[in-house]
Chain A
Amino acid sequence: MYPAHDEQDTTAPIPSQPRDLRRYLDGTDYLLPKDAEEEYRLNFQHYALYHAIGNHYIAPISPETRLVLDVGTGTGIWAAEMAHLFPQAQVVGIDIDAALFKTEIPDNCLLRGGNVLAGLPFPDQFFSYTHQRLLVAAITTQKWSSVVHELARVTRLSGWIELVEIDNQIQNAGPETIRLLTLMQQVSRDLGFDGEPIRHLGDMLANEGLQEVEMQTIPIPLGEWGGRVGSLMKQDLLKVIDAVKGKYCQHSKIAPEQFDRMVYAMAQEWEHYHSLCTFFAAYGKRTK
């Protein structure tokens, strides 16, 4: 059994390994690695987000929810957590890569391989709650609408769909933050990720005919100035940036050492400017 969220040591630093040993998925657009370090980061992030956002889920789902799907489940930690919180439900987690799946999961949780971009391996109108969190580095701009359409397809009438993503902008950004983000956003655009769909999650749900659609904007502090949550989120975001450093340096022709200096300067700035990242969360109910 995994530790309860308030028992997890979320302050332990995420271990690092040499960049050239990071494992990336070939033949996909996915920007992040899939290795032991990423496994640890994803589990760390799960608990950081719980404290930052306030819950593991945002949609107003009922305790009687029976069939739950987590798309892009990563290690499966969210799916396992939900299986624990909803013991009467069957929770399915699906991910393009099963290598990071947790080995100890509740009996009402199932983790399996699958790629939402290739179509979910489930029948129409199957799940009563379909959840997708932080696939911003997996879904290119042009594919977002089709992904949301697929999520709607597998969700039953009166079922909920929830999307949670992080913006590519940072609030209260200083000059070093703006400098690095401008570079990263340009590379991201070149790779097919422009960040714009993230700001229209609610619209995409509404376009699929969902009702009771709500779009929430959730600012989260970055840095020690923001207390424990700020410290956790800073650590997580810096690890994400480090994970994509190789691709971004290669694409922008910037030396890794220079990139590291830019990241360091940005992180220092967050404390002074009280910078924040922004999460967008949208949910809606399928009625037709």
Chain B
Amino acid sequence: MMTQPPSVIHLPRQQAEQLAAYCPLYRAYIWRTIPPSPERNQILRAIQTHQGRLVAFKEQEEAEILLQMTTEESCALRQMLTTLLALYGAEPPSHQRTHALEELAILRALVERTLHSTRGRKGQC
């Protein structure tokens, strides 16, 4: 069986730290709103893996992180950013909401651009 090459994302330090902060928020959201299932748990583990890599990167000195992801991990990341954008978008206007939407929009654009160029096609998830 042919295996898909991993997806690779380059994230500048600032965006890596932002993404690290959003991971526990998304895990909390999943636990709170989605009943236990193998599919849900797979997403949780993927996000936990991302969080681990990003938190470990914070202790390093490189200016950017190279994230290699499996298909499931890249899908989970895209789903996380899309969901968080929707959640913050539904909140009442506030400085925090605006700030979060800006961060998440940049993150999603970075992820989508990189995944699109890596895989050569959209709609993997």
Contacts and interface: CB of A to CB of B under 8 A. Distances in A.
Interface of A: 51-55, 58, 60-62, 158, 212, 214, 216-221, 226-227, 229, 285
Interface of B: 23-24, 27-28, 31-32, 35-38, 40-41, 44-45, 48-49, 51-53, 55-56, 59
A55 B52 contact: no
Contacts of B51: 60
B52 A60 contact: yes
A54 B55 contact: no
Nearest to A216: B28
A157 B31 CA distance: 29
Max count, chain A CB within 10 A of own CB: residue among B28, B31, B40, B41: B31
A217 B53 contact: no
Contact of B45 (A54, A216, A227): A54
Nearest to A220: B36
A55 B36 contact: no
Contacts of A220: 36
Contacts of B27: 216
Contacts of B48: 55, 58, 60
Contacts of A226: 35-36
B55 A158 contact: no
B52 A61 contact: yes
Given A60-B48, A229-B36, 11 more contacts: A51-B36, A53-B36, A54-B31, A55-B44, A60-B23, A60-B49, A217-B28, A217-B32, A226-B35, A227-B35, A285-B55
Nearest to B24: A214
B36 A227 contact: yes
A95 B96 CA distance: 46
A217 B28 CA distance: 7
A196 B62 CA distance: 43
A91 B77 CA distance: 30
A227 B40 CA distance: 14
Contacts of A55: 41, 44-45, 48
B55 A60 contact: yes
28 contacts: A51-B36, A51-B38, A52-B36, A53-B31, A53-B36, A54-B36, A54-B41, A54-B44, A55-B41, A55-B44, A55-B45, A55-B48, A60-B48, A60-B49, A60-B55, A61-B52, A62-B53, A212-B55, A214-B24, A216-B24, A216-B27, A216-B28, A216-B31, A217-B28, A217-B32, A218-B31, A219-B31, A285-B55
B55 A221 contact: no
B122 to A, nearest CB: 28
Contacts of B44: 54-55
A192 to B, nearest CB: 30
A221 B23 contact: no
B52 to A, nearest CB: 4
Contacts of B28: 216-217
Contacts of B32: 217, 219
Q: 7 closest A-B pairs (Cβ-Cβ)?
A: A54-B41, A60-B52, A54-B44, A60-B51, A229-B36, A214-B24, A218-B31
A214 B29 CA distance: 13
A164 to B, nearest CB: 12
